[in-house]
Amino acid sequence: MKICLVTAFPPSRGGLNEYGLHVAQALSNLPQLNLTILADKLRTPEPEMDGFDVIRCWSFNSLANPARLLRAIDKLQPDVVWFNLGFASYGSRPLPAFCGVVTPALVRLRGYYTHVTLHQIMDMMNLENASVKYPRLYRLGGWVATHLLLMANSISVLIPAYRSTLIENYHRNNVHFRPHGILFGEPELPDLARRGVAEQRILAFGKWGTYKRLEPLIEAFEKVSAEQKNVRLIIAGANHPETPGYVESVARSVAGHPRIEFTGYVPEEQVAQLFRSATLLVLPYSSAAGSSGVAHLACEYSLPIVAADLPEFRDMATAEGLAICFYETGNTNRFADALLSVLQHPEWRRQMTERNFAAALRMTMPIVVRQYLRLFDLDHHSRLLAPELRARRLPRWLPYRSLCASVVSRNATSWQQDWPAR
């Protein structure tokens, strides 16, 4: 099987580049599969990662992305074109972002099997938190873009409610739910006897400044630290691209605080140690833009999670069996109470740890990727059999009806021999 994966890809820091990397790693480990990554261009040249066939053919905020991608795909002639995208994957400005989102429809019209892993849907985005100037116009553009996205052969979303919304609002039946999956190999069950003994470390990890705000977290932490003496807040990650300087301004406001630490951007090779050293993870969001990759990192390292009570997080926890302690969104007193509840009850913390470890075992990236490949296989065989089914529906009185059906059947069988079995 020959797959083109269209995604932002490291060393680029474009949106969803980490997810694209781990999907590519899982695909590259499978035999009889030829993977080419159609990635975003780098602003400054950097060495490519070893072991991947990467063609950098599109650029963030470029109107030429559809034409560039179509040219690259035509040269490769893949069996499957797999897009890993959100609504802002191809641009921060409306027109380039729209051009990128409609590319899967153009690729399908060109005759290629097209699949989209869609990380957000416009219908459930909080545009106020995203600082959108013309929300009604964005809603209209999002409605049109979603219809065009649904022209792909199939779409996977990472939250069950997204699938229900797309089916109900757009009346399409090609939408599937797939778990987000954990990103780094096999999950780890930590030594619980050592975790949080010398110091209980609350970890906040992400790109901060839009709907991911640090002020409520710091306010809640002040209440927690007044009761817990051996607690520390670790704020990891950099600014969201739309809010430059945000993390630095918050760090200045709490400069000198003995229990608050800012790490800045964390390179991928240091992520594991950061999560292993934590006691719990917090998701202090005012809204959500899809399934949380950070929550799945917490599961991978068996961390309890404290999160704002958002519909997306509730749906994610129910669908994937995650252990999350929810607090009322925006209520810092409830936030502090939730943190204290987890920190002060070791047995409950242990149960949350074990539950998130078990959830991680069920959704390693190789398992998730094989679900996608089974879908591609099913669709491929359905397309091969479609001519035979049409031939068998020919009128019985038609001369050579049986001969036509048998010829089509033999052709389908011969084509299937080139499609790797799993």
Written as one string, the DSSP assignment of 88-155 is TSS-SSHHHHHHHHHHHHHHHHTT-EEEEEE---GGG--TTTTT-S-HHHHHHHHHHHHHHHTTSSEE
How many domains does the chain divide into?
A: 2
Cis peptide bond upstream of 11, omega within 30: yes
In a domain, 67, yes or no: yes
In a domain, 154, yes or no: yes
Q: What's the pLDDT band for 398 if we cut at 50, 70, 90?
A: low
Same domain? 26 vs 125: yes
pLDDT at 269: 82
pLDDT at 418: 47
pLDDT at 124: 74
For 1-24, give one letter per residue: b (16+ CB within 10 A) or e: bebbbbbbbbebebbbbbbbbbbb
Q: What is the DSSP-derived secondary structure letter of residue 418? A: T
Can you tell me the distance from the alpha carbon of 370 to that of 246, in angstroms, rounded to the nearest whole number?
A: 40
Start-to-end C-alpha separation, the chain: 11
Same domain? 114 vs 236: no
Domain closes at, from 316, 346, 362: 362
Average pLDDT over residues 157-170: 91
pLDDT at 414: 44
In a domain, 402, yes or no: no
Does residue 345 have a pLDDT over 70?
yes
pLDDT digits (tens, 9 = 90+) for 45-86: 888 999 999 999 999 999 999 999 999 999 999 999 999 998
Phi-psi region of 196 (alpha: psi -120 to 50; beta: other; left: phi over 0): left
In a domain, 415, yes or no: no
Same domain? 114 vs 220: no
Same domain? 51 vs 154: yes
In a domain, 238, yes or no: yes
| pTM of the predicted model over 0.75 | yes
Burial class (CB in 10 A: 0-12, 13-18, 19+), 223: middle
pLDDT digits (tens, 9 = 90+) for 276-309: 889 999 999 988 777 888 999 899 899 999 999 9
Same domain? 229 vs 353: yes
Average pLDDT over residues 376-389: 59
Residue scoring higher pLDDT (375 or 128):
375
Residue scoring higher pLDDT (390 or 201):
201
Instruction: Specify which residues 82 forms β-bridges with.
Output: 5, 115
Same domain? 214 vs 300: yes
pLDDT at 415: 39
In a domain, 7, yes or no: yes
What percentage of the chain reaches a pLDDT higher than 70? 85
Q: For residues 99 and 23, is the Cβ–Cβ distance under 8 A?
A: no
Domain closes at, from 362, 387, 415: 362
Same domain? 279 vs 355: yes
Same domain? 231 vs 145: no
Burial class (CB in 10 A: 0-12, 13-18, 19+), 284: buried
pLDDT at 404: 56
CATH number at residue 262: 3.40.50.2000
In 3D space, the residue among 162, 58, 170 whose CA is nearest the CA of residue 103 turns out to be: 58
Of 8-17, 104-113, 151-160, 176-185, the poorest mean pLDDT is in: 176-185
pLDDT at 421: 40
Of 204-208, 263-267, 379-383, the poorest mean pLDDT is in: 379-383
Can you tell me the distance from the alpha carbon of 236 to that of 277, in angstroms, rounded to the nearest whole number?
A: 13
Same domain? 217 vs 151: no
Same domain? 166 vs 26: yes
In a domain, 187, yes or no: no
**Collapsed DSSP state (helix, strand, coil) of residue 24:** helix
Structure tokens at 25: 């790693």
Same domain? 167 vs 210: no
Range of the domain at 243: 200-362
Domain closes at, from 362, 386, 410: 362
What percentage of the chain reaches a pLDDT higher than 90? 52
In a domain, 106, yes or no: yes
pLDDT at 389: 45
Does residue 128 have a pLDDT over 70?
no
Same domain? 55 vs 12: yes
